[in-house]
Chain A
Amino acid sequence: MDIEVYGEYKKTAWCPGCGNHDVMKAVRQALAGLDLAPNRVAHVSGIGQAAKAPHYIDLNGFNGLHGRGLPPAQAIKLCNPELTVIAQSGDGCNYGEGGNHFLAAIRRNVDMTLLVHDNQIYGLTKGQASPTTPEGQITKSQPDGVRNAPFNPIAVAVAMKCSFVARSFSGNTPHLVKMIQLAIQHKGFALVDLFSPCVSFNKVNTFGWYKQRCQELPEDYDPTDWAAAMQVAQEFGERIPIGVIYRNDRPSLDASLPVLQKGPLGRQPVDRDGLRALMQSYT
């Protein structure tokens, strides 16, 4: 698929230099590489700067509420398994407001991809701490430094045996493209926590900061080794490992529903004879 088919939007609400521009470029490349036609993809988001993504790429889109991107994304797959479902949103949307949905989505294991633009700050609301902001970091709303311990999405996802867990960085396009493609190809719930620096409100976790720390996992790393993945998930310091950290082959929920073998639910007719028989069961 020609990358031009997904459109290119010069006018966005993102700041110049924002990591989101690079993420969108990587998403286009990933989709083109997988030969996914724009109408075969349902692209879902919540609210936040990253969540404006559906407006800046030519795919089917569902821009829902803050923190609530995952529920409709999963339902879309459960109603039309023929669509490739991709959700994009920020760390605040997925790990803060939508935390319960994040945990439930890991457990439910619907075949879909979640791209979390993780910039460790709230950008759209102008610089408050996010769930992934490091302890002690001074922000406008946390002038004495963040007191809450940061949320470790990778460790949580691996601990819950999320069927696919990867980390990447907007500054490493080839790596990010590969992670997005592997996530889409994975049959199950796939999380890609990707660093996408906020140039306006996070002066600590900058492009350079991530560039210096992100290191690809060695070639011989085995992502099916859960205990090893738990170790890797703890690393967040001078070195931050990127790559596929954990995966398993637990069957996805949509694959286990016989009714979905018959295609999209929306087009399936009312089974009137079945309903008549059902009414008889009440007599």
Chain B
Amino acid sequence: MSHTGRNIVIGGEAGQGLVTIGQMLTKALIRSGYEVVVSQDYMSRVRGGHNTYSIRVHDAPIAAPAEAMDVLVALNQETVSLHKHELSESGIVILDAGLDPEGTRAVPVPFKDVASRPIFENVAALGVLGSLLGVDRPTMEGLVRETFGKKGDEVVGQNMKVLDDAWKWAEAHRASCAALPAPRGPKGRMMLHGNEAIALGALAAGVKFCSFYPMTPATSVAQELITKGRKLGVVVEQAEDEIAAINMALGATYTGAKALVPTSGGGFALMTEGVSLAGVMEAPVVIVLAQRPGPATGLPTRTEQADLNLALYAGHGEFPRAILAPATIEDCFHLTHAAFDLTERFQTPVFVLTDQYLSDSYRAVVPFDLDALPPVAEPDFSPGGGPKFKRYKRYELTESGVSPRKVPGFTETLVLADCHEHTEQGNITEDADLRNAMNDKRLRKGEGLRALCIPPRVSGDANPDLLLVCWGSSEGPVAEAAVLLRAKGRSVGVMSFTQVWPLDPAQFLPALQAAKEVVCVEGNATGQFARLLRQETGFEVSRTLLRYDGRIFTPKWLAERLG
């Protein structure tokens, strides 16, 4: 396989079934032992428009989507017209024999002959793709059986026949497309995207309550918990709005139930007063903020990293918070798990800041080892402590700033959670000295958070001439761009931040200062993280490389601009 692997793109209108074909092919590839990076590009509509589902497949680990298309499955003419110039040198187009290949190297499939009815055309396309790429046939058959099993033997049989006919038809055309090399990855891996991994991480941490208002690209976090988490004892409530969602979550954590609120920028903007409430009430809550381009409705189904400042500064007043920014699907799981521990431990809001690209990007992931996970902090469910039927010191002034958090109903003492400045018992106060003491106490928790902050991941050349700084989902494309640059003889390192707040300069400032050139790569227009670095360390990056057209970073796009 070439060093970039093979890029398979399925294009068509919403409602034509391109996601179904894409997901089934992805699963077949993962089951066979290939590595994949899926990127989904769709428009904000239910039917029509132009969408693509891209699978970059490789026999070795990969971390980013590719640009050039090696196999384009065109479900309509528009797909051919839009993408014919994006085909790689050996790229082919698989399309219905009735469509115009527009001068491309095409494999016209007589879908009408292969599939007796249009409803079977997706499986026919899958058969052709599987055959041309040399996917293990029993794997594909097993998948078709699983997918249609619920609909009964007759439907399974019909689909199996279509798969068989399509496979046979394509065998005659195999010369047009080189088969994939043998897979090398392990079997038994999950096909998982970022939001699914976040839901699993939350379940592993013991999430019990999720309140949400649907918003792309965050909805699938809640949907996973509804579809699969309910069996594990999670209550998921679709709230009337995002304001209700976050305030419900604070009610949930008051009872000791771990709570999650998934949203995107516009919905999160509505939650900001609730974030402030969590700050003063010292209520745990994990907020998953899946970014998409703004302002306002922006490009609702595309990707961006422009809500860092929003997460950093949301909520009036001053209180500590932590912001974790996963770069990989594994990060989505582990950092969500870690977010629950941090929010329980420090009783202050913790964010998982992700984006549309990572939310929707399927990869092959080894099932997580639950026994290897560190324990997650809990409130004090014990019955003892505190005066009977009187308020205990919910906001006791302590050295660490963390006060004992008891749970109403589990004890005879009373728990008063409050939104004002308050006494140690939670009662309203306007006393100036107490105000200072309480504010200082809350801010001391920020020091505890800083002491635990996750250092950036550093890879590539040691002491590089060029150090690429990135955060969140850009890591994969940036790391692969570094490989391309090193192939041209350059000395390149990568520093990837998976926690963007708080920062501990001792963990990374020496490396920044040692590099000849530092370029900060971000999916926004103003270099928000570069500014944050300067604010916190005084260090100014040599330059920023920014993308804010709603499209995903690719190694090629980056390498071209990094020369």
Contacts and interface: CB of A to CB of B under 8 A. Distances in A.
Interface string A148-171: 000000000000000000000000
Contacts of A266: 208, 255-258, 379, 381, 407
Interface in B396-432: 407-420, 426-428
Contact of B233 (A65, A74, A262): A262
A97 to B, nearest CB: 10
A106 B356 CA distance: 35
B428 A55 contact: yes
Given A39-B408, A275-B370, A72 B206 contact: no
The 4 closest A-B pairs by CB, nearest first: A266-B256, A72-B251, A75-B251, A282-B190
Interface of B: 31, 188-192, 196, 200, 203-206, 208-209, 211, 228, 230-235, 237, 239-241, 243-245, 247-252, 254-259, 273-274, 277, 281, 367-368, 370, 379, 381, 389-391, 407-420, 426-428
20 contacts: A38-B414, A39-B389, A39-B412, A52-B428, A58-B389, A58-B391, A62-B251, A65-B273, A70-B244, A79-B235, A79-B255, A80-B408, A100-B241, A101-B243, A103-B240, A259-B234, A265-B233, A266-B256, A275-B232, A278-B203
Contacts of B428: 13, 52, 55
A270 B203 contact: yes
Contacts of A103: 240
Interface stretch (A40-48, A131-139, A206-214, A229-237): A40-48
A100 B257 contact: no
Contacts of B204: 270, 275
Contact of A61 (B230, B248, B370, B418): B418
A41 to B, nearest CB: 9
Interface of A: 5, 7, 13, 37-40, 42, 44, 47, 52, 54-55, 58-65, 68, 70-76, 78-80, 82-83, 100-101, 103-104, 257, 259-260, 262, 264-272, 274-276, 278-283
A44 B367 contact: no
B419 A75 contact: no
B282 to A, nearest CB: 12
Nearest to A61: B416
Contacts of A63: 416-420, 426
Nearest to B365: A282
Contacts of B249: 75
B248 A72 contact: yes
A38 B247 contact: no
A239 to B, nearest CB: 34
B409 A61 contact: no
A72 B247 contact: yes
B232 A65 contact: no
Contact of B252 (A55, A61, A70, A76): A76
B370 A276 contact: yes
A257 B191 CA distance: 31
A73 B248 CA distance: 8
A282 B248 contact: no
Nearest to B204: A275
B239 A71 contact: yes
Nearest to B228: A278
Contacts of A76: 251-252, 254-255
Contacts of B206: 269-270
A105 to B, nearest CB: 9
Contact of B188 (A61, A260, A283): A283
A262 B192 CA distance: 31
Given A39-B389, A104-B244, 12 more contacts: A39-B408, A55-B428, A60-B409, A60-B414, A68-B273, A75-B250, A75-B251, A75-B255, A266-B208, A266-B407, A271-B232, A279-B200
Nearest to B192: A282
Contact of B228 (A74, A262, A281): A281
A270 B205 CA distance: 7
A229 B243 CA distance: 32
B409 A265 contact: no
Contact of A74 (B241, B248, B418, B426): B248
A47 B276 CA distance: 15
A203 to B, nearest CB: 28
Contacts of A74: 248, 251
Contacts of B409: 39-40, 42, 60, 80, 82-83, 264
Contacts of B411: 39
Given A61-B426, A83-B409, A265-B209, A75 B389 contact: no
B262 to A, nearest CB: 16
A55 B428 CA distance: 7
Contacts of B408: 39, 42, 60, 80, 83
Nearest to B30: A283
- Which residue, of B31, B235, B412, has the highest number of chain A Cβ atoms within 10 A? B235
A99 to B, nearest CB: 10
A276 B235 contact: no
A79 B203 contact: no
Given A64-B419, A279-B190, A75 B390 contact: no
Contacts of A100: 240-241, 244
B43 to A, nearest CB: 27
A278 B414 contact: no
Contact of A62 (B190, B196, B203, B417): B417
A72 B254 contact: yes
Contact of A278 (B200, B235, B417): B200
A101 B190 contact: no
Contact of A58 (B240, B247, B252, B414): B414
Given A279-B367, A280-B367, A283-B31, A80 B247 contact: no
Contacts of B281: 64
A65 B237 contact: no
A283 B143 CA distance: 11
Given A39-B414, A61-B414, A61-B416, A78 B256 contact: no
A281 B232 CA distance: 14
Nearest to B193: A282
A266 to B, nearest CB: 3
- Which residue, of B196, B209, B237, B258, has the highest number of chain A Cβ atoms within 10 A? B237
Contacts of A59: 414
B416 A265 contact: no
- Which residue, of A82, A262, A283, has the highest number of chain B Cβ atoms within 10 A? A283
Nearest to B187: A283
Contacts of B277: 64-65, 68
A275 B203 contact: yes
Contacts of A270: 203-206, 232
A103 B241 CA distance: 12
A60 B415 contact: yes
A75 B237 contact: yes
